[in-house]
Amino acid sequence: MTLDPREPVYSIGVVVRMVSLHPQTLRNYERWGLIKPGRMGGRVRLYSQTDVERIREIKTGIETMGLNVAGVEVMLKLKAQIVDLQTQVERLTVEIVTSRNGPRSLPGRVGAMPTRTPSTIPSRTTKGRQ
């Protein structure tokens, strides 16, 4: 059985030991809108593995990089944008390869495109120069 990393399972006491923070610091992160833990019964905070990773990023931003709350918010938004853009690039790459060569040409499938090595990549030459 694999645990979903977004499933809130860790209590605040467990998380503070995992990330070496004071419980009030985690409450402040929540109050500032940096994290949003799950709730059990409306009162007990439960954190997921994804939350724990985000808390570590916040802690690094504040303690190591010297960012304030606004700086951490920007950092987290930029990281999320990077992930979104990487996903878009992967999706568009699949679309391009599929439209050029058909679905059987996708890497990891039977009939996949051959991997290009420096010797198989056509060289670009300009007129009069080689």
CATH architecture of 10-104: Orthogonal Bundle (1.10)
pLDDT in tens, 16-41: 999 999 999 999 999 999 999 999 98
What's the CA dihedral at 63, 65, 66, 70 to 10 degrees? -100
State the DSSP string of 6-38: TS--EEHHHHHHHHT--HHHHHHHHHTTS---E
pTM for this model (two decimals): 0.71
Q: Domain limits of the chain?
A: 10-104
d(CA 46, CA 38): 5
pLDDT in tens, 89-105: 999 999 999 898 876 76
What average pLDDT does this structure show over 41-51?
94
d(CA 26, CA 47): 10
Taking the alpha carbons at both ends of the chain, their separation in whole angstroms is 59
Q: If residue 46 lies in a helix (H) or strand (E), which one and from where to where?
A: strand 44-47
Sign of CA dihedral 107, 109, 115, 121: negative
